[in-house]
């Protein structure tokens, strides 16, 4: 089983490992596109980069990080990404077997394994940066079918917890997806947007630690229910996690 997580805009700085070695990354078939995007990003004029990435002046260090992409230290991807999903995942307390089940979607890297060493960078699925010829294709166009083809070679079930923007970079036919809905006071349901990251982080942790690997959506739902989560199996491959609207109050953003 492979649990595919979304990246985060916020990332930890620094790193305990040397500069990026492309050959150390999982899914090496993605390297040519990875390298092309990284080159295009790092050579941009700083002011143009800041504008293209829609960064405020307070986030200027993100521009500097991109410029130093090839020489800056690296750390495991699972610790590079931060935020509410990664807080809920609490990767520092997962063993190697659990980490091996995790991968992370990325506009720059496509997909990386949890323990792949990567540098700090800033680039989102909606970003458009110029190529050497001056054209500015979308990230979806840059990746084409590459991510889909690479993930299609993965054996076992894929649980795709990426947000829609990152799913568009490379859809995974046959993957189980999860949406989070909160029950309102009147009994109706509302799709949870921001706080879905927290619940998906909890689910990812649970699945990563499962004694046996689920083989389909029904078994994913069984694992979640055994841990006290309310999970519905709908048509196709989509699961719905149902939470109380009250439980979204106080969830750290």
pLDDT score for 157: 98
Quote the tokens at residue 197: 């990251």
SS3 104: strand
Query: With 90 as the cut, is the pLDDT of residue 253 above it?
Result: no
pLDDT score for 246: 53
217 domain residue, yes or no: yes
**Is 184 or 97 the better-scoring residue by pLDDT?**
97
Query: With 50 as the cut, is the pLDDT of residue 252 above it?
Result: no
Residue that has been written with the tokens 């294709």 in this structure: 137
Evaluate if pTM is beyond 0.85.
Answer: yes
pLDDT score for 158: 98
- Give residue 89's domain range: 2-248
198 domain residue, yes or no: yes
253 domain residue, yes or no: no
SS3 118: strand
Nearest CA to 179 among 192, 188, 169? 192
Nearest CA to 3 among 244, 177, 164? 177
94 domain residue, yes or no: yes
pLDDT, tens digit (0-9, with 9 covering 90-100), for 183-226: 887 878 888 777 899 999 999 999 999 999 999 999 999 999 99
To the nearest whole number, what is the mean pLDDT of the chain? 94
Number of domains making up the chain: 1
**Is 117 or 189 the better-scoring residue by pLDDT?**
117
Quote the tokens at residue 21: 């070695």
pLDDT, tens digit (0-9, with 9 covering 90-100), for 128-139: 999 999 999 999
pLDDT score for 71: 98
Q: Band of the pLDDT at 247, cuts 50, 70, 90? A: low
Distance separating alpha carbons of residues 223 and 214, to the nearest angstrom: 8
């Amino acid at each position: 089983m492979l649990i595919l997580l979304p990246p985060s805009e916020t990332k930890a700085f620094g790193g305990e490992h040397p500069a990026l070695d492309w050959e150390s990354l999982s899914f090496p078939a993605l390297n040519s596109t990875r390298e092309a995007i990284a080159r295009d990003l790092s050579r941009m004029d700083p002011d143009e980069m800041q504008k293209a990435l829609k960064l405020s002046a307070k986030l200027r260090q993100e521009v500097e990080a991109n410029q130093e992409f090839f020489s800056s230290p690296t750390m495991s991807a699972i610790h590079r990404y931060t935020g509410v999903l990664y807080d809920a995942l609490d990767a520092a307390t997962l063993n190697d077997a659990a980490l091996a089940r995790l991968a992370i979607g990325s506009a720059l890297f496509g997909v990386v394994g949890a323990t792949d060493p990567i540098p700090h960078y800033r680039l989102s699925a909606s970003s458009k940066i110029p190529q050497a010829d001056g054209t500015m294709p979308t990230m979806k166009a840059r990746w084409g079918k590459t991510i889909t083809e690479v993930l299609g070679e993965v054996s076992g079930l894929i649980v795709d917890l990426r947000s829609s923007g990152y799913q568009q970079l490379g859809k995974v036919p046959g993957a189980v997806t999860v949406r989070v809905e909160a029950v309102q006071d009147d009994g109706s349901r509302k799709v949870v947007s921001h706080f879905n990251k927290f619940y998906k982080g909890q689910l990812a942790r649970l699945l990563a630690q499962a004694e046996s690997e689920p083989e389909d959506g029904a078994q994913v739902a069984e694992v979640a229910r055994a841990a006290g989560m309310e999970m519905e199996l709908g048509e196709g491959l989509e699961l719905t996690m149902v939470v109380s609207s009250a439980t979204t109050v106080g969830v750290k953003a």
